[in-house]
Structure 1
Amino acid sequence: MSSDPIISVRGVGKCYNLYEKPSDRLKQMMVNRLARGSRKRFYREHWALRQVNLDIRCGETVGIVGENGSGKSTLLQLICGTLTPTEGELQVNGRIAPLLQLGAGFNPEFTGRENVALNAAILGLSADEIDERFDAIVAFADIGEMLEQPVKLYSSGMHSRLAFAVAINVDAEILIVDEALAVGDEGFQRKCFARIEAMRSSGTTILFVSHATATIQELCDRAILLDKGEILQDGTPNAVVKNYQRLTYAPHGRRDEERNRIKSGTVHPSPSVLIGEKKAISEDAFDPSLVPLTTDAYPSLGAHIRNVRIRNMENEQVNLLQRFSPYWYEYEVEFDRQISNVSFAMVVKAINGLRLGSQVSSSSPDQSISVITPGTTLHVKLPLQLPLSAGTYFGNAGVVGILPGEAEPVIVHRIVDAIMFKVLPVPSDRIHFHVDVTGGLSPIISYSSRQRTNG
């Protein structure tokens, strides 16, 4: 990975003029033409981006997260050159293959075949290069006879297939993806991500916008959190996704406080009472040094999770676990307000933040606890059996319910990285990734031979 930036953004901002009514737009045009120097304005400014500074190095895969309206798509369009900045400087050193709005660059009246040629030409391919790569583009898109039909007849999935197939075949130094793969079916998405992995390995720079945070954590080397047009955080995917989720789920009255904390780089306090007991009960099954430094408690909306821990079938607290052995994932929940339709959950994550599995106390609303009154404390025990390779893992704990006067369930408390534990290696371990797909069975290799006959 080169240390030289392939994309450099310095003090970039994008402002739009918003008019209350169409006549105000006309008035502003007249003022601009007839009264030069007048400060009269019939609009208000809306800054979609403001004072953005960013360097992206050659070969990096960078994920951009943020709520709707945070400026993610605007930033990508500025980098692609489909928008011009209101202020600041932006430099891109390389050919870009953009996957922005669905069908962007397609003429709806043209056939798929004609749009392949049009889009590839827009992306910088010559006529000979388009002819040379046409078969590969068509094979990847795999839309059959619809290739000869007008694009206006295509489904969203077909648009996505054709656009992605063109983008990955132009040998671009930079691939930009803005949620364009979300509309494809699972098989096509897997095919796309496999190709993205191959492009990463070959040194392509990738900018990836997605609300699927697990994908950001799995694919990206680095992540950026955008909010209200400014960068709040630029760091590791795990840290950025955690703050993005905290900002998303922050109560309305505390959102600004949470935003300021993230922007200032302040680390959230991790009270020791939230990570369980530290006293070793069984030295060969409990390591008191396994205490997460990344514990993060969401604001409480009427419930408080305490003492998250794992116990074995002998009721001993453990954090050094055996693959496939049964355990209980336990915690207490104290309620200080009435909450209805309550259920409990946990999530197991890899050290890079990738979610590997979860457990929920009720699979449907009618199986949840109908009403819990203030002053109640519940002891939660969720079954846990881990088909995981040897390594270090983290567990979340959460409570979901419906607050008085509301109709939809919300997270009333959650602790991220509430507990840290290890899965121990087994002799002659053959597992190289997170999940053991063997089910504990050993491989069987059979030999067969044919005797040659002399005829």
Structure 2
Amino acid sequence: MCSDTVIKVNNLGKCYHVYDEPSHRLFQFFHRNKKLYHEFWAVKDISFDVKAGETVGILGRNGGGKSTLLQLVCGTLNPTQGSIDTVGSIAALLELGSGMNPTFTGLENIVILSEIMGISKDHFEEILPRIIEFADIGEFINQPVKTYSSGMAVRLAFAVSVAREPNILVVDEALSVGDEAFRRKCFARIEKLRENGTTLLFVSHADSLVTQICDRALLLDGGELLQDGVPADVVRSYHRVLFSLPSKRQEIREAIKSGEFVSTVKESSKEEAQKQRHSESLELETYLDDFVSKSIVSYPVRGAEIVDPYLRNKKGKRVNQLVAFEEYEYTYKVKFTKDAAGVQFGMLIKDITGAQVGGSVIPGFNEDRLEAKTGEVFEVVFNFKCPLNPGTYFLNAGVQGLIDEDSENPYLHRLLDVVMFKVHSNGLDNGTGFVNVCPSATTKKL
């Protein structure tokens, strides 16, 4: 193993025996010459190296082998084949509450976990106050862990894991629970560890986070390593697998393994990778055929019909994978089947919970509305510079007008959740919430 390599995985595999009937497990014990099970490879033939100070993200669908791989690296599982070599101490935050005894108090679990991690008694007495302060669970530190919420359990486990500075930190999606303030506190601590040279290996479904902070990314699917490379490339491949039709999935997997979707960006140093993140993020701007809304609601057509709503970039290319702060157009056509007065077109952006993020109408509220005749077709275009933070969003489209003075319904046609799109980080943003307000900020020491 090279001097700067801290994790070396070679031809790694973990196989489980799956029995159709519980009794077959007992029969197998007495009939060794018969095979009463079928093999399930959680991970198979995986090889990669991780250098000191490198941050590597692992992406993949549920059941792809990500958690199994991390457990193998940490030594909590034994491999069926292959080898794993690590250098230095490892701190792991795997399954929720992993390693903690639910009947013991938080303080008692801190003692046990510290002993498992090999922390000396003198060092433990030094770091104990920091652990309690970081966990910030108050009087619950003296209560059994079984009385904790999921967020409190993670607080305690994370506080112990990062109390000392490990050579390698392994995190398996545990930070997806808990309040945002504590999650931010955790990532601040992780960033500090990275600055001090800690190697980070973590699983996350937050692909924007992988693009932002990782030097490399791995894509696992079906227990296989499909891709190891630049985060932007791996995220794009992850989306292709995630949103592919089952009938096309194997074809896409093979294309990814062959390198068909890899960009021309060459492997670079950590500093060069940071400089390239913005340009790499632009490669995420694309259209995925299978990334479509499954919650479309179409209201009755009452004199006008909205046709073909979609997003396009400034080159006129149809997209549903956007990059923050790039320019886009949301467009659709409206066919009028009746004369209408006071016509107004609208759009609305929502997040995955249905919360309204923002919208617009044309003509504006202080402008004269339009007249439309039967048979006329209008093209509606909303131009915008995407201010949204990374995440998945949905678009509505609507047209209002009067075709009957007695009607109380102003909508001639309305489509809800008609376009689904995903916003990726541009590699430079630092916003929170839905919208990045881009404040002009300065600091000075007083």
Scaled by the length of structure 2, the TM-score of the pair is 0.68
Mapped to 1, the partners of 2:137 and 2:63 lie a distance apart of: 33
Question: How far apart are 1:19 and its partner, in Å?
Answer: 0.8
Pair 1:14 & 2:14 matched = yes
Letter of the 2:288 counterpart: Y
**Aligned partners of 2:7 and 2:49 also within 8 Å:** yes
Q: Name the structure 1 match of 2:340.
A: none
1:100-139 aligned at under 5 Å gives the runs 100-139=94-133
Amino acid of the residue matched to residue 296 of structure 1? Answer: T
1:26 Cα offset (Å): 0.2
**RMSD value, Cα:** 4.2
Q: Distance in 2 between matches of 1:187 and 1:48?
A: 35
Q: Which digits, 9 at most, give the CA deviation of each residue in 1:17-48, with x for residues without a partner?
A: 0011111000011123xxxxx2x111110000
**Following the alignment from structure 2 to structure 1, what is the Cα–Cα distance between the partners of residues 71 and 130?**
27
Instruction: Tell me if structure 1 keeps the 8 A contact 2:228–2:234.
Output: yes
Q: Is the 8 A contact 2:106 2:144 kept in 1?
A: yes
Cα-to-partner distance string for 1:193-234 (whole Å, 9 max, x where unaligned): 000110110000001111111121222111111000011111
Structure 2 CA distance, aligned partners of 1:432 and 1:107? 41
CA drift of 1:251 comes to 2.0
Q: 2:313 aligns with which of 308, 312, 330?
A: 308
Structure 2 equivalent of residue 46 of structure 1:
40
Alignment-mate amino acid for residue 23 of structure 1: S
Return the match for 1:297 from 273, 287, 296: 287
C-alpha distance in 1 between matches for 2:100 and 2:170: 17
Structure 1 residue 127: Cα displacement: 1.7
Instruction: Report the Cα distance in structure 1 between the residues aligned to 2:225 and 2:42, rounded to whole angstroms.
Output: 12
1:209: which partner in 2?
203
- The 1:125–1:225 alpha-carbon spacing in structure 2 relative to 1, beyond 3 Å, is same
Which letter maps to 1:180? A
Alpha-carbon distance between aligned partners in 1 of 2:430 and 2:154, rounded to the nearest angstrom:
31
Matched, 1:141 2:161: no
**Superposition deviation, residue 253 in structure 1:** 2.0
Q: Distance in 2 between matches of 1:415 and 1:161?
A: 30
Contact 1:247 1:255 in 2 (8 A): yes
For residue 117 of structure 2, what is the amino acid of its counterpart?
A: L
Q: 1:379 to 1:69 in 2, by over 3 A?
A: farther
**Could you tell me how far apart the structure 2 residues matched to 1:444 and 1:115 are?**
41
- What is the rounded CA distance, in whole Å, between the counterparts of 1:224 and 1:43 in structure 2? 31
| SS of 1:297 mapped into structure 2 | coil
SS of 1:47 mapped into structure 2: strand
SS at match of 2:252: helix
SS in 2 for 1:181: helix
Deviation, 1:267, is 3.0
Aligned mates of 1:346, 1:309 — CA distance in 2: 22
CA gap 1:95/1:386 in 2 versus in 1, 3 angstroms: same
Q: Could you list the per-position Cα deviations for residues 351-382 of structure 1 after superposition, in whole angstroms to 9, with x for gaps in the alignment?
A: xxxxxxx86789xxxxxxxxxxxxxx984533
Q: Are 2:57 and 1:67 equivalent residues in the alignment? A: no
Q: In the alignment, is residue 222 of structure 1 matched against residue 216 of structure 2?
A: yes
Q: Distance in 2 between matches of 1:151 and 1:416?
A: 38
After superposition, the Cα gap between the structure-2 partners of 1:236 and 1:411, relative to the gap in structure 1 and judged at 3 Å, is: farther
Give the counterpart letter for 2:287 in structure 1.
Answer: A
Q: 1:146-295 residue pairs with structure 2 within 5 A?
A: 146-267=140-261, 295=285
Report the counterpart of residue 26 of structure 1 in structure 2. Answer: 26
Query: Do the aligned partners of residues 69 and 444 (structure 1) sit closer, same or farther apart at CA in structure 2, a change above 3 Å counting?
Result: closer
SS at match of 2:169: strand
Secondary structure at the counterpart of residue 6 of structure 2: strand
Structure 1 position 329, deviation (Å): 2.6
Measured after TM superposition, the shift of residue 437 of structure 1 is: 4.0
SS class of match (2:29) = helix
Q: What is the rounded CA distance, in whole Å, between the counterparts of 2:378 and 2:24 in structure 1? A: 60
Aligned equivalents of 1:397, 1:297: Cα separation in 2 = 15
- Shifted more, 23-32 versus 75-84: the winner is 23-32
* Displacement of 1:304: 8.7
1:325-347 deviation per Cα after TM superposition (whole angstroms, max 9, x unaligned):
xx87344689xxxxxxx988699
- Structure 2: distance between partners of 1:126 and 1:412: 57
In 2, are the aligned partners of 1:300 and 1:412 still within 8 Å (CA)? no
Q: Is the 8 A contact 2:311 2:328 kept in 1?
A: no
Provide the C-alpha distance between the structure 2 equivalents of 1:87 and 1:444, rounded to a whole number of angstroms.
54
Taking structure 1 as reference, are residues 93 and 345 closer, same or farther at Cα in structure 2, changes over 3 Å only?
Answer: same
Q: Provide the secondary structure at the position in 1 that maps to 2:45.
A: strand
- Classify the secondary structure of the residue corresponding to 2:48: strand
SS in structure 2 at match of 1:9: strand
> Structure 2: which amino acid aligns with 1:8?
K
Structure 1 residue 119: Cα displacement: 0.5
- Read off the aligned partner of 1:4 and give its amino acid letter: D
Between 247-256 and 74-83, report the one with greater CA deviation. Answer: 247-256
Q: Secondary structure at the match of 2:56?
A: strand
Q: 2:310·2:419 contact (CA, 8 Å) conserved in 1?
A: no
What secondary structure, in the 3-state scheme, does the structure 2 residue paired with 1:296 have?
coil
Q: What are the within-5 Å matches in structure 2 for residues 356-435 of structure 1? A: 379=379, 381-384=381-384
Give the letter aligned to residue 243 of structure 1.
S
CA distance in 2, matches of 1:214, 1:182: 14
- 2: CA distance, partners of 1:433 / 1:179: 21
Q: Which amino acid aligns with 2:314?
A: R
> How far apart are residue 385 of structure 1 and its match?
5.2
Q: Counterparts of 1:195 and 1:70 in 2: how far apart (Å)? A: 28
**Deviates most, 239-248 or 133-142:** 239-248
Q: In structure 2, what is the Cα distance between the partners aligned to 1:63 and 1:153?
A: 32
Aligned twin of 2:74: 80
Q: Deviations over 1:114-138 (max 9, x none)?
A: 1001001111101221111100000
Identical amino acids, percent of aligned pairs: 43
* Cα distance change of structure 1 residues 301 and 59 upon mapping to structure 2, 3 Å threshold: closer
- Of residues 92, 106, 111, the one that matches 1:98 is 92
Match of 2:410 in 1: none
Q: Distance in 1 between matches of 2:439 and 2:419?
A: 38
TM-score, normalised relative to structure 1: 0.66
